[in-house]
Amino acid sequence: MAPKLPIYMDNAATGRCDPRVVEAMLPYFTEKYGNSSSRNHKFGWEGEEGVETAREQAAALIGANAKEIIWTSGATEGNNLAIKGAAHMYAKAPEGQPNRGHIITAVHEHKAVLDPCKRLQREGFEVTFLEPKADGIITAAMVKAAMRPDTILVSIMWANNEIGTINEVPEIGKLCHEREVIFHTDATQWVGKMPTDVERDNIDLLSWSGHKIYGPKGVGALYVRRRKPRVRLEAIFDGGGHERGMRSGTLNVTGIVGFGKACELCKAEMDRDGERLLKLRRKLETELAKRIEVTQVNGHADKRLPNIANISFGFVEGESLLMGIKDIACSSGSACTSASLEPSYVLKSLGVGDELAHSSLRLSLGRWTTEEEVDYAIEKITKAVHHLRQMSPLFDLYKEGVDISKIEWQTH
């Protein structure tokens, strides 16, 4: 059966809001519209009740206590608050002085982690950017080797947003706890898809966002550990002292209610969703590799999320490939569209060659992806790659047995 076009395979970017989430949110637009901080009337109490129910739902998804959930506008804010907030709180020297403390992160983190770390570097903190091996994974051993007596914070994402690889987060957390170092993880791609328990997994700070878990955009949560150790953060927003003083500002009640509902649904359905998506992702990867020569699935073979496939097709350029499959919404590893002409820094960090990094697609599946859609994608991508290879001078050279990396190109 032909699927309805276009097909959405960009769930790692964002996803459809679950209709059950929308339904839960609706009363909060027009009926229960009170400010959750208003303590002296029914409207305020209703808003507060919605927010606190959501806090319970969010906490339950990650094995936390509701008091440990801080509402944010999304994972970018959560990452900023966690990283800058912890660095400023635990700094070894005051502002304006050098040697304020050491931070460990990795080169293929999301920009929402890298850029706050770079800002802290300019403010007198030292940052180590760990480099993964070809499998893309950051191990506890890598973090251990980078630890110093003045290390104050480690920030390692749970699963990578471009390649879906899973870092050794529980082990890194354990190491951090042994050394009394604060551990933050950007769990945007992980939470809601995979079982999470901040106690078992030794997490101090964890950020995630609503729209990656079939909830609304513009809302997220930051888990901040309250005991063993009690983690403190310096706020970024000053104001009314909401959220235990860590995040002032009137709460996005509607969004928070949707976020909570999305967490509840993920908790109930993640096992079933995960199993189904893993099967579909494997089919996508193996069928494409079978039909198209010189195809490479990027990242570790098994330690990957069930829903993200990142595949390089040698000798074809990513943007033109996207053009050939325009009824499949997905991402390309080539950043040509952003005018930088730079292939993905994540793929480059894995040692994927430039020409393969330019030739990659990220296909990310979601709750509503069907097998028919996967079959359609396999056919369509195969056709597009063959169309482009028949035009590709690099494919000719490969067929002639010429090593492309040995050619002296006239770079621009």
Partner 1 sequence: MAYSDKVIEHYQNPRNVGSFGSSKEVQTRTDVGVGIVGAPECGDVMQLHIKVSPQGIIEDAKFKCFGCGSAIASSSLATEWIKGKSVDEALSIKNTQIVEELSLPPVKIHCSVLAEDSIRTAIEDWKKKNGIASTTQATAAAH
Site residues (CB under 8 A) for partner 1?
315-320, 323-324, 334, 336-337, 339, 341, 343, 354-355, 358, 390-394, 396-397, 400, 402, 404, 409-412
Instruction: Specify the residue, 250 or 337, whose C-beta has the smaller distance to partner 1.
Output: 337
Residue 346 amino acid letter: V
Please tell me the distance from the alpha carbon of residue 390 to that of residue 124, in angstroms, as a whole number.
53
Instruction: Specify the residue, 70 or 322, whose C-beta has the smaller distance to partner 1.
Output: 322
Q: Which two tokens stand for residue 213?
A: 């878990």
Please tell me the distance from the alpha carbon of residue 22 to that of residue 259, in angstroms, as a whole number.
10
Q: How far is CA 228 from CA 199, 203, 241, 292, 387, in A?
A: 10, 11, 24, 52, 58
Residue 372 amino acid letter: E
Contact 122, 113 (CB under 8 A): no
Query: Smallest distance from the beta carbon of 390 to partner 1, in angstroms?
Result: 7
Q: 222, 228, 223, 359: which is closest to 294 by C-alpha?
A: 359
Query: Smallest distance from the beta carbon of 312 to partner 1, in angstroms?
Result: 12
Residue 127 amino acid letter: V
Instruction: Specify the residue, 238 or 400, whose C-beta has the smaller distance to partner 1.
Output: 400
Which residues have a catalytic role annotated? 336
Q: Which two tokens stand for residue 284?
A: 């996508």
Query: Smallest distance from the beta carbon of 339 to partner 1, in angstroms?
Result: 4
Instruction: Specify the residue, 236 or 404, whose C-beta has the smaller distance to partner 1.
Output: 404
Query: Smallest distance from the beta carbon of 340 to partner 1, in angstroms?
Result: 10
Number of Cβ within a 10 Å radius of residue 91 = 20
Please tell me the distance from the alpha carbon of residue 227 to that of residue 243, in angstroms, as a whole number.
17
Instruction: Specify the residue, 30 or 338, whose C-beta has the smaller distance to partner 1.
Output: 338
Please tell me the distance from the alpha carbon of residue 331 to that of residue 362, in angstroms, as a whole number.
5
Q: How far is CA 409 from CA 319, 364, 394, 412, in A?
A: 21, 34, 12, 9
SS3 296: strand
Helical pair 371-389 and 253-291, crossing angle rounded to 10 deg: 50
Q: How far is CA 360 from CA 7, 195, 277, 403, in A?
A: 18, 29, 20, 20
Please tell me the distance from the alpha carbon of residue 259 to that of residue 213, in angstroms, as a whole number.
8
Instruction: Specify the residue, 93 or 402, whose C-beta has the smaller distance to partner 1.
Output: 402
Please tell me the distance from the alpha carbon of residue 344 to that of residue 50, in angstroms, as a whole number.
41
Query: Smallest distance from the beta carbon of 251 to partner 1, in angstroms?
Result: 37
Instruction: Specify the residue, 54 or 388, whose C-beta has the smaller distance to partner 1.
Output: 388
Query: Smallest distance from the beta carbon of 306 to partner 1, in angstroms?
Result: 30
Query: Smallest distance from the beta carbon of 258 to partner 1, in angstroms?
Result: 31
Instruction: Specify the residue, 189 or 332, whose C-beta has the smaller distance to partner 1.
Output: 332
Helices (H), 147-252: 169-178
Which stretches does DSSP call E strand in 235-371? Answer: 295-297, 308-313, 328-329, 331-332, 360-364
Query: Smallest distance from the beta carbon of 260 to partner 1, in angstroms?
Result: 37
